[in-house]
Amino acid sequence: MQRKAKADRKVRHPVEIEAVLHRTDGSKAPVKLTNFSDLGCRIETADQLRVGERLAIAIPRMGQVKAQVRWAGAGSAGARFVAESDF
């Protein structure tokens, strides 16, 4: 039996993309994106991210995208992409 996705949730695509996280304190960290949708992504990282934290993620062949952490746990976090004007 398949579960229906929430109406406001976009289809997530499994990926393995090496990227670089840029934090507002000026620090950078290598991360791996493990799923991706039009609205956001899942980030695998050794760093502890905070819910609400704003980030820039440098993604190969895509450039830098702005995002905000929506949930965070040990070793991973979910981020929603935000418009430059929201950053």
CATH number of 13-86: 2.40.10.220
Calculate what percentage of the chain has a pLDDT beyond 70.
86
- The residues spanned by each domain of the chain are 13-86
Average pLDDT of span 17-35: 97
Taking the model in full, what pTM does it have?
0.82
Per-residue pLDDT, 80: 97
**CB distance 13 to 46 below 8 Å:** no
CA angle (14, 7, 74) in 5-degree steps: 45
Q: What is the pLDDT of residue 87?
A: 56
Residues 6 or more apart in contact with residue 24 via CB below 8 angstroms: 53, 54, 55
